Structure 1
Amino acid sequence: MREIIHIFHTNDLHSHFTYWKRSQSFIQIQRQILAEKGETSFLVDLGDHLDRSNLYTEATLGKGNIKMLNDADYDVVTIGNNEGITLSYNLLYQLYDDAQFEVVVANLYSQSEENPSWMKPYTILTTQYGTKIAVIAATAPFDLFYKELGWNVTNPRTELVKLAFELKKHADIIVCLSHLGITEDELLAQECPIIDVIFGSHTHHVFEKGQVENNVLLTGGGKFGQYTGQLTVEFDHASRKVVEKSDRLFENALLPTVEEEEQWLSNLQKEAKAILEKPIFTLTKPYNKEWFHRSQLSDLFAECMYDYTEADCVMFNAGIFVEPLRKGLISTYDIHKIFPHPINICVVQITGNELKEIFTQSENEDWPRLELKGLGFRGVIFGKILNYGIEMTKQRELYINGKLMEPDRIYRLATLDLFTFGYFFPSFKYAKKQYFLPEFIRDVFKNYCMKKFQ
């Protein structure tokens, strides 16, 4: 007997709910059709379902996303970095308490207590014909962030390979939910070909029909709810082996619309505003934003960063201000509209000579109009990099707070975590630094303004 099994998959939604209802309606209809044919199906999500740049996710602190997954009858999910490092320890610990599905992640451990009861290293799904599918999963190891938040994250490939070999004794099929990115998926496939399928995410890659690596099928479903994936596996009961496997993507924008889709999206916004619109302070004047030079809002934010970090100098990009700060009653909703980014403050320790090099690099004329996607940035354009407490004379002498820079002295530069990943300033990746977690820049700014203006 040959059994046909289907696994529908979603990934990296990042709280882009535009096509959520039609995608889930499509999956539900397809699963009903398959059930009538006697073919078992499952539904999995690969992480980064939530993103706190979305007002509804922010207002519900991710619990609204879990309700959506429950309502859609998901079977198994794993967590991405947006679940893992954009929530405080307690919020993540309790995030899936009401989940009606399995949550699998093999490489995350609490530093101070037992892992939450919902967090499992693997699960086993069983089809109606008794075929056992082992589901293993791991998330990207953002070591410094997890450590600061109270978690230990281990090497994902090591954990997955060990689990795969252990579970091969008990399962007919092994699949991996990977929130690691395409490069790690390929390396895992090379190292552990006993895994049948690696569902891929994190790097937002797209494989319209999957990609085979060392006889392991890799999938990739893009980002932001672009696609719904469907894996089909043919399992031979006589040989106890997978004899066929294939994957395909459905473009969600082209799926049939569902009744009251727009109303549902509108209701999410209304619910979020109702939670976030309580006034928290009052302004007697507006603070304008500018993307290509300093502004009243950037001066206020720099003042806030000095107060929060007690650093020697401050650097950030002007594009973080999505909207101005208006006059009158200000709510958490207003602050979120200005700073939708899941970005944290970081203090980097560098020498005077290194700081001079960083200042010179920050003057890059190509960066202000860069339409940056990723690294936590959720703005329109990157904007000019603004330096506070740092000035360079025409003679190329650098002054820190009015004093001539000392080449070997260690200075504390307060900046944004997006600059520390090596893309803009490679030297930051290896410098000594302190991340201020779990507060986002909007939380720090809100608290400062509540203190300053009340």
Structure 2
Amino acid sequence: MKKLLVLLVALLSIAIFAAPTHLVIFHINDTHGHVWPYGEYHNPDIGGFARIATLVNQERAVNDNVLFLHAGDVNTGVPESDQLDAIPDFVALHYMGVDAMALGNHEFDNPLSTTFMQQRYAGFPFLSANFVTKDGRQLFKPYIIKNVGGVKVAILGVTTEQTQVLEPLHLNGGKFLNVEETVKKYLPELKKKADIVVVLGHLGYGKDDQPLGVKYTTSDQLAKDVKGIDIIIDGHSHTLMNKAAYINKTIVVQAGEWGKYLGRLDLWVENGKIVDYEWAAIPINLKKYLGKDENGHSKYEYVTEPIPEDPFIKMIADYYYSLGAEELNKVVGETKILLDGERAHVRSGDTNLGHLITDALIWKTGADVALQNGGGIRASIQPGPITYRDILTVLPFGNTTYVFEMTGADLMKVLEYAATIPAGKGAWLHVGGMTYKIKDKKPVDVMVNGKPIDLKATYKVAANNYIAGGGDGYKMLKGLKGFDTGFVLADVVKEYIQHLGTIENYDNAPRVVVEK
């Protein structure tokens, strides 16, 4: 009997020690300033870092083998965050226990000194193996290795090569090396040091176009072309995946945008190998709209059980929200003249404010031409100090900046439509970098940067994402080769006004002339 008990204990011990190690990797991406809960059409009070923290902490309470990763683009999107250089985001992420972040393209919206400051507040490493200075130096760690429950996990960060064009302003000659070549360079080293290799990439999933001649690597392409990667945790394309992709024995995941979802990847690892996995994107208090009740109030039901806010992270978020709100009232520039955004004026002709907005788009993106619908300009800026709140009053919709690659013939189709728009309509077009006349409801004498338009030439064109998506009847723009930079239009205008300083005068010469 005693021998039998000893045998049973030995067998039980073997079974216990042979059991696969269970790891959980939580991940988010493209949060873009959405520290706080927010609302969308028929979906109020969703997201928020404090709710994400609740889910992560619930798992940590029962499992020591947890990693938490961010796949990039913390910066740019919510004014209360933008005003504080995303410090609310990074402080909250620090106390949420994030282990590492891949640098996204929007981490280069600011000078590199700001990015380094953000990393100090974050307290976790910003990773990018393929960003180098003009003299070839690495400024950020290429990878880290974490020991999670006895499993060594290498986390290699890479950033989309698109950043070279999307955010050229603060690179100081820095460049982004080819992602595939970079990953191939590090893989042998990581395979020796770690059991599992995770590429934490801000790359984008499933894009097959290469706008503006920028060749860039997508996560699915990387998985297909490079063998030996165990997992790719991705961002950049804001893709909400229904299930994990499994490409060339590589697990590829991405969890939408703005903290609407928390990605959860469960791994079972045995002898340094992944033997099983599960993945899900967990909705953060998303709701289903059920229509109106008898009193006309909207009715909703939660998609999953409602998630409470972690009180500590909520306290941090609330504190910084009040600071960010105060920042909106700080002066960013001054104008000695009225910047005319009156409804009747911006919907029927040129104004100096319309010119300033389109010029700001060109200044920020390096575009040849900029387009802005008059209906998107909602107020004037009076002479005197200019605050960011003033700019948000002019541009209240949160539109982002879209950049196209267009031929002169494509551009003419835009102008042909614009020429038919009667005065008073929101679709009235303001332009930068070009002039033209409207005669008999047709565009004539079209000049781009002082030269006659070339129908066969290719132009870089910037516009707000509303008309880029076909809004206000600009259907000819929808589907053209291009990309959303993520730059909030109001932020672009704010930065341009800061660049200008005191506005003594501004170009008021008509760029669009309607001939009688």
Q: Is the 8 A contact 2:361 2:492 kept in 1?
A: no
Separation in structure 2 between the aligned mates of residue 107 and residue 403 of structure 1, nearest angstrom: 36
Query: TM-score w.r.t. structure 1 length?
Result: 0.76
Q: Does 1:331 align with 2:387?
A: yes
- CA, structure 1 residues 50+291, in 2 after alignment: closer, same or farther (shift >3 Å)? farther
Q: CA deviation at 1:180?
A: 0.8
Q: Does 1:268 align with 2:320?
A: yes
Match of 1:160 among 183, 187, 206: 183
Partner of 2:145: 124
RMSD: 4.3
Separation in structure 2 between the aligned mates of residue 207 and residue 452 of structure 1, nearest angstrom: 51
Q: Does 1:232 align with 2:266?
A: yes
Q: Is the 8 A contact 1:211 1:219 kept in 2?
A: yes
Correspondence 1:109-188 to 2 at 5 A: 109-111=132-134, 114-116=137-139, 119-129=140-150, 131-142=151-162, 143-145=164-166, 148=169, 149-150=171-172, 151-183=174-206, 184-188=218-222
Q: CA deviation at 1:293?
A: 5.5
Partner of 2:95: 71
Q: CA deviation at 1:90?
A: 3.5
Partner of 1:99: 122
Partner of 1:20: 49
In structure 1, runs of 5+ residues without a counterpart are: 369-381, 430-438
Q: Is the 8 A contact 2:106 2:167 kept in 1?
A: no
Separation in structure 2 between the aligned mates of residue 98 and residue 263 of structure 1, nearest angstrom: 17
Q: Is the 8 A contact 1:287 1:325 kept in 2?
A: yes
Q: Is the 8 A contact 1:312 1:411 kept in 2?
A: no
Q: CA deviation at 1:15?
A: 1.4
Amino acid at match of 1:186: D
Q: CA deviation at 1:394?
A: 3.3
Partner of 1:32: 61
Q: CA deviation at 1:77?
A: 0.8
Q: Is the 8 A contact 2:201 2:235 kept in 1?
A: yes
Q: Is the 8 A contact 2:205 2:234 kept in 1?
A: yes
Match of 1:287 among 340, 347, 350: 340
Partner of 1:372: none
Partner of 1:378: none
Amino acid at match of 1:29: Q
Match of 1:316 among 371, 381, 387: 371
Separation in structure 2 between the aligned mates of residue 312 and residue 44 of structure 1, nearest angstrom: 34
Amino acid at match of 2:59: Q
Q: Is the 8 A contact 2:367 2:462 kept in 1?
A: no
Q: CA deviation at 1:236?
A: 1.1
**Alignment deviations for residues 147-174 of structure 1 (CA, whole Å, 9 cap, x no partner):** 5532201111221232223311221111
- CA, structure 1 residues 383+24, in 2 after alignment: closer, same or farther (shift >3 Å)? farther
**Alignment deviations for residues 260-290 of structure 1 (CA, whole Å, 9 cap, x no partner):** 9887655433211323413443678673355
Matched residue SS, 2:502: helix
Partner of 1:10: 28
Separation in structure 2 between the aligned mates of residue 440 and residue 154 of structure 1, nearest angstrom: 27
Separation in structure 2 between the aligned mates of residue 386 and residue 73 of structure 1, nearest angstrom: 46
Q: Does 1:217 align with 2:238?
A: no
- CA, structure 1 residues 126+291, in 2 after alignment: closer, same or farther (shift >3 Å)? farther
Q: Is the 8 A contact 2:402 2:463 kept in 1?
A: yes
- CA, structure 1 residues 406+190, in 2 after alignment: closer, same or farther (shift >3 Å)? closer
Q: CA deviation at 1:133?
A: 0.7
**Alignment deviations for residues 357-381 of structure 1 (CA, whole Å, 9 cap, x no partner):** 513334447xx9xxxxxxxxxxxxx
- CA, structure 1 residues 392+312, in 2 after alignment: closer, same or farther (shift >3 Å)? farther
Separation in structure 2 between the aligned mates of residue 140 and residue 89 of structure 1, nearest angstrom: 17
Q: CA deviation at 1:202?
A: 1.5
- CA, structure 1 residues 336+304, in 2 after alignment: closer, same or farther (shift >3 Å)? closer
Q: Is the 8 A contact 2:49 2:92 kept in 1?
A: no
Partner of 1:252: 284
Amino acid at match of 1:140: T
Correspondence 1:390-429 to 2 at 5 A: 390-394=436-440, 398-400=444-446, 406=452, 416=462, 424=477
- CA, structure 1 residues 293+278, in 2 after alignment: closer, same or farther (shift >3 Å)? closer
Q: Is the 8 A contact 1:106 1:121 kept in 2?
A: yes
Partner of 1:197: 231
Separation in structure 1 between the aligned mates of residue 225 and residue 460 of structure 2, nearest angstrom: 41
Matched residue SS, 2:83: helix
Q: Is the 8 A contact 2:409 2:456 kept in 1?
A: no
Partner of 2:414: 361
In structure 2, runs of 5+ residues without a counterpart are: 1-17, 38-47, 207-217, 286-305, 470-475, 483-490, 507-516
Q: CA deviation at 1:246?
A: 1.7
Matched residue SS, 1:4: strand
Partner of 1:445: 497
Q: Is the 8 A contact 1:306 1:313 kept in 2?
A: no
